[in-house]
Each structure stands twice: as structure tokens, then as C-alpha cells.
Amino acid sequence: MKWITGLLICCGGVVLLSGCQSNPPTEPEVATVSLTKTGPMDAAELAYQLSRKTWCTNDEACSMMLHFLDGEDPFAAFEERTDDLRQRGVMPEGWKLNADEPVTKGTLAYMVCRAMEQPGGLMMHLLPGRRYAYREAVELNLMAKGSENEPLTGPEVVGVMGRASRMMNQNQQVVD
């Protein structure tokens, strides 16, 4: 019995001397997407980079919208992207978005619904905006339920854009 007590004291001493401290958790590695790099970034590369990011910025979401609409993003600056999307009617004139802020569900839903030319419901016609566009996106199973003010992660944006692209392809096949 004495040897068990001695063994426990010895083990306790080893633990005390070696320390019980665990390593602090590290932040997950987050990729940064440089949309102003030299040479165009194709949709697959942008989607891959976004799938590794914690949050998707307004700038990255606008770039994804241009890839969705045209298959490319020829612009180097956020202002050029937003100007083009405004001219197309995908983004309203009154929006004041910051390039580096996370895109919200309502913002992306509005742009996707406008790009897809979704008719939406009565409220979307009477009060066009992020709230009812987000509700339409949930109804179309493009987004999960929540709030239109919630920020989107990179993987969520890639998923939304992928589902929207498949829906557009299916609608074109029905028309053809």
C-alpha cells in the first residue's frame, strides 16, 4: 500500500514539474482573397478561396455576382464592381456598402434574386429590399432561415451561389 502512495506522489510530482498547462487554442487559418491581384481570378479559384474564409466581404460577394452573371470579374476595384451591378439593376443606388465588411444574408439575397429575375411575392413588389428578398431566397431553398442582417461565411456564399447557378441552369433547360 505504501508503494501505491509513493507512486501517486511521484506521478503528481512529475505532473507538477512538467506543468499541467495546455497549449492555447489557435485561430483557424483563414485565407485572404486578394481581388486586386495581377491577372483575372476565375470563379473556381474565387470559390475555393472563399470556402476557406470565415467571413465573405461585400467586395468578394460582388465579385461572385459578376462571375454568376458573366462568368468573369473584369474589375480591379470594389467601386467599379458596385457601379456595374447598379447599372444592371442588381444593386440599388441607395446602398452604402463598405468593401471589407461581411456581406449579410439580405444583401446577397437581394442581388441573387435580382440577377435571377425572380418574380417574388407581393411584398417583394410592394417593398423591394433585403428583407423580402431574403424571405424569397429562403423560400427557394437558396439560404437557411435566420435574419437578413446575419453575416455570411465564405462557404455559405459559395453554397448560395452554387444553388442559384443550378436553379438558373434548370430553368434554362425547361425553357429550351
pLDDT digits (tens, 9 = 90+) for 112-168: 999 998 776 666 666 668 888 999 999 999 999 999 999 999 999 999 999 999 998
Q: How far is Cα 24 from Cα 7, in angstroms, rounded to an integer?
A: 30
Q: How far is Cα 121 from Cα 128, in angstroms, rounded to an integer?
A: 10
What's residue 151's pLDDT? 96
Range of the domain at 106: 35-157
Per-residue pLDDT, averaged over 6-33, amounts to: 47
pLDDT class for 67, splitting at 50, 70, 90? very high
Q: Which residues make Cβ contacts (< 8 Å) with residue 102, sequence separation at least 6?
A: 55, 56, 57, 58, 151, 152
Helix, strand or coil for residue 173? helix
pLDDT class for 96, splitting at 50, 70, 90? very high
* Domains contained in the chain, number: 1
Is residue 4 a part of any domain in this protein?
no
Is residue 25 a part of any domain in this protein?
no
Of 11-15, 87-91, 99-103, the range with the lowest mean pLDDT is 11-15
Q: What is the pTM of this model?
A: 0.74
Q: Which residues make Cβ contacts (< 8 Å) with residue 78, sequence separation at least 6?
A: 58, 59, 62, 99
Is residue 132 a part of any domain in this protein?
yes
Q: How far is Cα 121 from Cα 135, in angstroms, rounded to an integer?
A: 10
pLDDT tens digits along 32-52: 455 554 456 788 898 899 989
Of 9-23, 31-45, 76-90, 142-156, the range with the lowest mean pLDDT is 9-23
Helix, strand or coil for residue 57? strand
Whether residue 166 contacts residue 116, with contact meaning beta carbons closer than 8 Å, is answered with: no
Percent of the chain with pLDDT over 70: 69
